[in-house]
Amino acid sequence: MEITVQVRSRSDLTAPTTPVGAGPTTSARDREDPERIEEEAGRTSAISEIAEGAPWNAVEEAMLRRRSIRKYKRKQVPAHLIRRILEMGRYAPSQGNCQPWKFVVVRDAAMIQEMEEFCVAACRKLSTALDYAAYRKGTRAYFVARAKAKLFSRLQPNMLHPVPVSAVTAIAQGRFAVFHRAPTVILLLMDTRGIGTPEIDIGICGTNIVLAAQSLGLGTCWIGFSSFLNRSPEWRARLGAEKPYKIVEAITVGYPIGDPSRLIARETHEIAWFEDGRKEILY
Amino acid sequence: MTSVITRAERWNFPDWGDPAECQFHRVSVDLELCDGCKLCTIICPANVLELYEVQEKKKVRVKDDHRGCVSCNNCHAICANGAIAASRHYDFIGYYRQLGRGEFSMPRRF
């Protein structure tokens, strides 16, 4: 096979020589004005003017009406729709285009139930060991668990946040589920050799999947507790999550119970805005 | 470099069972609008809602132990009448103190 390399000018081949301390130099390519080039090519991209207060478009609608769905109808989602939303994950941006994901789709109710039982058992162990709030105050078990929890909190402050801890206890007590009896579970595996921070890429990939699902009338929920499955070499082998792969997240997919489409209020967040040499704080 | 949270806060982990240290918001219910359809009690991720009877009519209320409510407002999203809503986020003392949060607001069309 013949490979041709097009060289536009000699400056593309020879690196500019930079005298020490001369500051940054720009290559010939950088000095060219991109806007002039697109004009010359007659292929100027359009700028669509969106008026202030314009109605939400379809993507915005999907973002605003997406809720984490934890109660599903029994009806299975057609396979082609799962393929369709995974396709959106495939086109997610990633660092250096490294695409550090691997998808595992589980649609076998018995297998999902087995995964559920494994994660519930892990939650029971964790809750018994650490959640002192689940014990009666003043008992020995309360003090032992509390002392351990306070120490581990310093070491694992993200995991031992009060919110997931109360969820772990709710799962242990059977008041909450891990995979929510969803008809389809998509496990997001990460190639731990990914560039930079591959966890971020998994998050972006999953967001594509979740928003695509929302736009197709499907309900989804992120399942972080799915990572308990990493503790079992058997599960890792069965799911193809052996090294260098790791189960990072799962997304349950199904048809939501009820109609959870009403828009909701949320708190605003501080925005630091730098412009015209000033800084403003917006919300 | 300075820190927004103090050294004392960094070492202060709230007591999980103490409502003064772990402040979970209590969603409010408009009894006029609630028709007792039960959907919100089913979908609530923290399982903190229950039905009770007011003058022989079923209404929803927040359980006394409402630890775990994350103000997700899924109850509001599923309510046909808009009878239930969270209007404040959870907050904790010490290490997990919330930073840089404003008031609750519906999506704003800028």
Beta carbons within 8 Å of B21's beta carbon, 6+ residues apart: B14, B15, B92, B93, B94
Q: Where are the alpha helices (DSSP H) in chain B?
A: 7-10, 39-43, 74-78
Report the CATH architecture of B25-89: 2-Layer Sandwich (3.30)
Residues of chain A with Cβ-Cβ distance to B9 below 8 Å are none
Q: What is the pLDDT of residue B84?
A: 98
Q: What is the pLDDT of residue A9?
A: 45
pTM score of the predicted model: 0.89
Q: Which of A11-15, A81-85, A163-167, B99-103 has the lowest mean pLDDT?
A: A11-15
Q: Which residue has the tokens 């828009």?
A: A263
Q: What is the pLDDT of residue A134?
A: 85
Mean pLDDT of chain A: 91
Mean pLDDT, range A110-116, rounded to an integer: 98
Q: What is the pLDDT of residue A140?
A: 93
Q: Among A9-13, A168-172, A275-279, which range has the highest average pLDDT?
A: A275-279
Q: For residue B35, is pLDDT > 70?
A: yes
Q: What's CA B42's distance to the chain center, in Å?
A: 16
Residue spans per domain, chain B? 25-89
Q: Is A34 on the interface with B (CB under 8 A)?
A: no
Answer yes or no: do B109 and A55 touch at CB < 8 A.
yes
A61 by DSSP, 3-state: which? Answer: helix
Q: From the list A133, A146, A162, which residue is nearest B96 (CB)?
A: A162
Q: Quick one: pLDDT band at residue B13, thresholds 50, 70, 90?
A: very high
Q: What is the ipTM of this complex?
A: 0.94
Answer yes or no: do B105 and A265 touch at CB < 8 A.
yes
Q: Is B93 on the interface with A (CB under 8 A)?
A: no
Angle at A112 between CA A107 and CA A118, to 5 degrees: 160
Mean pLDDT, range A130-159, rounded to an integer: 90
Q: What is the pLDDT of residue A12?
A: 47
Mean pLDDT, range A137-152, rounded to an integer: 90
Residue type, B27: V
Q: Which residue has the tokens 């209320």?
A: B61
Q: Which residue has the tokens 């790791």?
A: A246
Q: What is the pLDDT of residue A21?
A: 55
Superfamily of domain A58-107+183-283: NADH Oxidase (3.40.109.10)
Q: For residue B60, is pLDDT > 70?
A: yes
**Residue A269 to chain B, least CA–CA distance (Å):** 5
Cα-trace Rg, chain A: 25
Q: From the list B13, B74, B110, which residue is nearest A153 (CB)?
A: B13
| Interface with chain B: mutation pick from A158, A166, A261, highest number of B CBs within 10 Å | A166
Q: State how far the Cα of A242 lies from the Cα of B110, in Å rounded to an integer.
A: 47
Q: What are phi and psi of B8, to 5 degrees?
A: -60, -40
Answer yes or no: do B22 and A162 touch at CB < 8 A.
yes
Q: What is the pLDDT of residue A7?
A: 45
Q: What is the DSSP letter of A196?
A: S
Residue spans per domain, chain A? 58-107+183-283, 109-180
Answer yes or no: do B74 and A67 touch at CB < 8 A.
yes
Residues of chain A with Cβ-Cβ distance to B15 below 8 Å are 133, 146
Q: Is A248 exposed, middle or buried (0-12, 13-18, 19+ CB in 10 A)?
A: buried
Residues of chain A with Cβ-Cβ distance to B101 below 8 Å are 267-270
Q: What is the pLDDT of residue A25?
A: 64
Answer yes or no: do A265 and B87 touch at CB < 8 A.
yes
Tell me how crowded residue A252 is: count the other CB atoms within 10 A of its CB.
26
Q: Which of A148-157, A219-228, B28-37, B49-58 has the lowest mean pLDDT?
A: A148-157
Q: What is the pLDDT of residue A127?
A: 92
Q: What is the pLDDT of residue A212?
A: 98
Q: What is the pLDDT of residue A31?
A: 79
Q: Is A202 exposed, middle or buried (0-12, 13-18, 19+ CB in 10 A)?
A: buried
